[in-house]
Amino acid sequence: MTVYSGPVFEMAVNQFGVIADHLSIPHDERARLLMPKRSVTVSCPIHRDDGTIAVFEGYRVQHHLTLGPTKGGTRFATSVDLGEVAALAIWMSWKCALVGLPYGGAKGGVHVDPTSLSRTELEGLSRRYMQEMIPFVGPHTDVMAPDMGTNEQVMAWFMDTYSMYQGKTVTEIVTGKPVASGGTLGRREATGRGVAYLARRVLGLKSINFNDATAVIQGFGNVGSYTAIELASFGVKIIAVSDHTGALYDAKGLDVAALVAHVGKHGSLAGYSNELQYDPVGMLTLPCDVLVPAATERVIDAKVAAQLQCRILAEGANGPTTPDADLVLEQRQDAIFVIPDILCNSGGVVVSYFEWVQDLQQLFWEEEEVMHREYKILDRAFDQMVARAKRDKVSHRTAAMAIGVEKVRAAKTTRGLFP
Ligand code: GLU
């Protein structure tokens, strides 16, 4: 029995089972590695603009505290429940360990459709959520960041709320803040830049000329839009994009700058073009060089995996590919190079780590330094993953997760079991 029920949590459990078998981890050691250390559920009451009171349920899950504070985003979405948040926290642990950050994984969220809130209501909810979390977070306990449905402004409200209760400014309590409030240069772009950088490495490995390459991007939030901008800057043609309002397809290539400007003005891709509308599910199986799922979990199941016509699957989202789809992709690994989520989208948390370090030291870096260090970490993790996959004859996901799980396990083993 566990409180973390649901399909996303089951997926994280399933994936861990594959890794634990691969690493021959004794059965009595597995729950200690997998099950979250702490989880908190809070009620967040807010005043609505119409004078009524609404209550939203919020969560925070801290997966393990063995390597340092926990780290991970806060999601405002209607999909949010304790099981989803727990799975995302577990993935953050493997991700942070894979790229060598001194963190355990965490994730939080509020079950809410943020587009249904006015700006005042969103501020009220953000502040109340952070206020409810004060006993459980801290710069050396648990450090939040943006995720789906939250952004720099929400992080600024989180930081301000925490700081007001402390009676001093504590910028290092969250990352992904505006640069004007202790954020770092390059955090906003970090995840998309990382996705595009790794996709470019694999295009190079496959000897695909960037100027002949095409990409399809599902999701046009922070990750999808910056991935599109970066890939386009390398000469890659973005032939399809989508968000929750629909998909757009143009074999000649979409105008990324115009799409970004439209979303900046109207909040979504809706209304950009009637002629270019396309089936949002069918989009995933379009022939292309790079497919970037950058929206949400479990969009590539076994059926979709069998129909994929991409050469590189660059997972910008967390958990976009189900374990059943992984089995299909293992059969297709000569045709499709998978860059698994915990590596592919790790640029975000890597630069969050840089932001935390800069805030703690009050010494701020140039954007070039942020990018240079981000790419160095991604290159190292990519090389380790590829070498491990080759050595053990396993998929890239198994290799990447095995490296992450092994590091957490080593830390737990050397520290010992208390008392
Ligand atoms: N929410 C992002 C992720 O899933 C970023 C987390 C962070 O920067 O701490 O990786």
Q: In angstroms, rounded to a whole number, what is the distance separating the alpha carbons of residues 374 and 358?
A: 14
95 CA: nearest ligand 1 atom: 10
For 363-397, what is the HEC assignment? Answer: CCCCHHHHHHHHHHHHHHHHHHHHHHHHHHCCCHH
**Interval 83-89 mean pLDDT:** 98
Cα 352 to middle of ligand 1, angstroms: 8
Q: Read off φ and ψ for residue 170, nearest 5 degrees.
A: -120, 80
Catalytically active residues are 107
Q: In angstroms, rounded to a whole number, what is the distance separating the alpha carbons of residues 256 and 87?
A: 32
Q: In angstroms, rounded to a whole number, what is the distance separating the alpha carbons of residues 345 and 259?
A: 22
Q: Quick one: what percent of the chain has pLDDT higher than 70?
A: 100
Cα 122 to middle of ligand 1, angstroms: 20
Q: Which residue has the tokens 């989508």?
A: 242
pLDDT at 343: 99
pLDDT at 273: 97
144 CA: nearest ligand 1 atom: 9
pLDDT at 198 over 90: yes
pLDDT, averaged across the chain: 98
Cα 343 to middle of ligand 1, angstroms: 12
73 CA: nearest ligand 1 atom: 1
Tens of pLDDT, residues 5-27: 999 999 999 999 999 999 999 99
Q: Tell me which of 158, 191, 350 to substitute to probe ligand 1's pocket, judged by most ligand atoms within 8 Å of the beta carbon.
A: 191
CA 201, 206, 208, 209 torsion: positive or negative?
positive
Whose Cα sits closest to atom 8 in ligand 1? Answer: 349
Cα 399 to middle of ligand 1, angstroms: 21
CA atoms within 13 A on the CB side of 160: 15
**Interval 211-225 mean pLDDT:** 97
Cα 388 to middle of ligand 1, angstroms: 25
pLDDT at 419: 87
Cα 50 to middle of ligand 1, angstroms: 34
**Interval 244-260 mean pLDDT:** 98
pLDDT at 47: 98
351 CA: nearest ligand 1 atom: 8
> Residues lining ligand 1, judged by CB closer than 6 Å?
71-73, 145, 147, 175-176, 318, 345, 348-349, 352
Residues 6+ away with beta carbon under 8 Å from 99: 343, 346, 349, 350, 377, 378, 381
Output the CA–CA distances (angstroms, integers) from residue 58 to 39, 45, 80, 402, in the order listed.
11, 10, 9, 31
User: For the stretch 58-78, what's the b/e string if a residue is b when 16 or more beta carbons lie within 10 angstroms of its beta carbon?
Assistant: bbbbbbbebbebbbbbbbbbe
CA 54 vs. chain centroid, Å, equals: 29
**Interval 61-74 mean pLDDT:** 98
Nearest to 106 by CA among 68, 72, 69, 76: 72
Strand partners, 338: 313
Q: Tell me which of 152, 352, 370, 378 to substitute to probe ligand 1's pocket, judged by most ligand atoms within 8 Å of the beta carbon.
A: 352
Say if pTM beats, i.e. exceeds, 0.85: yes
Nearest to 144 by CA among 58, 244, 218, 226: 58
pLDDT at 1 over 80: no
Tens of pLDDT, residues 98-140: 999 999 999 999 999 999 999 999 999 999 999 999 999 999 9
**Interval 65-79 mean pLDDT:** 98
* Parallel/antiparallel/unpaired status of strands 104-111 and 70-77: parallel
* Parallel/antiparallel/unpaired status of strands 53-62 and 70-77: unpaired
352 CA: nearest ligand 1 atom: 8
For the chain, what is the HEC assignment? Answer: CCCCCCHHHHHHHHHHHHHHHHCCCCHHHHHHHHCCCEEEEEEEEEECCCCCEEEEEEEEEECCCCCCCEEEEEEEECCCCHHHHHHHHHHHHHHHHHCCCCCEEEEEEEECCHHHCCHHHHHHHHHHHHHHHHHHCECCCEEEEECCCCCHHHHHHHHHHHHHHHCCCCHHHECCCCHHHCCCCCHHHHHHHHHHHHHHHHHHHCCCCHHHCEEEEECCCHHHHHHHHHHHHCCCEEEEEEECCEEEECCCCCCHHHHHHHHHHHCCCCCCCCCCEECCCHHHHCCCCEEEECCCCCCECHHHHHHCCCCEEECCCCCCECHHHHHHHHHCCCCCEEECHHHHCCHHHHHHHHHHHHHHHCCCCCHHHHHHHHHHHHHHHHHHHHHHHHHHCCCHHHHHHHHHHHHHHHHHHHHCCCC
What's the residue count for the chain? 419
**Interval 379-392 mean pLDDT:** 98
**Interval 257-270 mean pLDDT:** 98
Q: Tell me which of 147, 342, 353, 354 to substitute to probe ligand 1's pocket, judged by most ligand atoms within 8 Å of the beta carbon.
A: 147
pLDDT at 194: 98
Residues 6+ away with beta carbon under 8 Å from 298: 7, 8, 11, 319, 320, 321, 322
Q: In angstroms, rounded to a whole number, what is the distance separating the alpha carbons of residues 150 and 125?
A: 11
Query: What are the structural domains, with CATH classification, of the chain?
Result: 36-171 (3.40.50.10860), 189-344 (3.40.50.720)
**Interval 190-212 mean pLDDT:** 97
**Interval 384-412 mean pLDDT:** 98
- Amino acid letter, residue 301: D
pLDDT at 416: 96
Residues 6+ away with beta carbon under 8 Å from 190: 347, 348, 350, 351, 352, 370, 374
